[in-house]
Amino acid sequence: MRIISGKYKGRRITAPKNLPVRPTTDLAKESLFNILNNHYYFDSISVVDLFSGTGNVAFEFASRGTSNIHAVDGNYNCVKFINKISTEFNFPINAFKSDVFKFLEKTVLTTDIIFADPPYNLDKDKFLKIIASVFERQLLNEHGMLIIEHSKHMDLSENKFFSYSKKYGGSVFSFYEASENL
């Protein structure tokens, strides 16, 4: 994986092969950040990266100047890798090991962007639970956005907070915003 833009543009990061992850492709990540670039100033937002895996998306935010990033993953080795790279690059990422669903139930953080990249084989009910938790617990700041990466074989558009989706190969980014922000 590589960092697309920002301070560390072009830098390649190689994750250990034993991590149980499916990193967002560079093409999809570049497209996602092109969309976000039209909505936000990266140096003035906060981000929560759920199911962080390699930290690929969190690293991209950090390279672009975001200084308030929380990365949550249930795998100790993923969190260890994110912390290692964050230290090497001096990225302001607070990575910690937690079950994402427990995190969503208990966190008091509010943020501008929540990015979730759960395993594609997760039951649809779990994807819907992420959406419900974020909006019921009001975890997004005003004009905040939830983005879920999922398989093109899953439709997550039947939700009152759904705004739009973008497809890139076998992946889809679905965007959700509080109704009053639409």
Residue in the block written with tokens 């993953």: 73
Nearest to residue 103, comparing CAs of 125, 127, 133? 133
Q: What angle do CA 110, 111, 116 make, to 5 degrees?
A: 110
pLDDT in tens, 53-81: 999 999 999 999 999 999 999 999 999 99
Lowest mean pLDDT among 12-16, 128-132, 146-150, 154-158: 12-16
- Between 24 and 65, where is the model more confident? 65
Q: Is residue 8 part of a domain?
A: no
Q: What angle do CA 29, 24, 72 make, to 5 degrees?
A: 105
pLDDT in tens, 93-144: 999 999 999 999 999 999 999 999 999 999 999 999 999 999 999 999 999 9
0.85 surpassed by pTM: yes
Q: Is residue 3 part of a domain?
A: no
Interatomic CA distance for residues 112 and 140, integer angstroms:
6
CATH code at position 96:
3.40.50.150
pLDDT at 52 over 90: yes
| 177 neighbors 163 (Cβ within 8 angstroms) | yes
pLDDT in tens, 151-163: 999 999 999 999 9
pLDDT at 86 over 70: yes
User: What is the average per-residue pLDDT within 11-30?
Assistant: 86
Of the CA atoms within 13 Å of residue 169, those in its CB half-sphere come to: 8
Please tell me the total count of domains within the chain. 1
Q: How confident is the model at residue 180 (pLDDT cuts 50, 70, 90)?
A: low
* Boundaries of domain holding 120: 26-181
Q: Is residue 5 part of a domain?
A: no
- Locate 85 and state its tokens: 């790279």
What is the model's pLDDT at position 182? Answer: 41
Q: Is residue 20 part of a domain?
A: no
Q: Is residue 16 part of a domain?
A: no
Q: What sign for the dihedral angle of Cα 167, 46, 162, 75?
A: positive
- Locate 28 and state its tokens: 């999809």
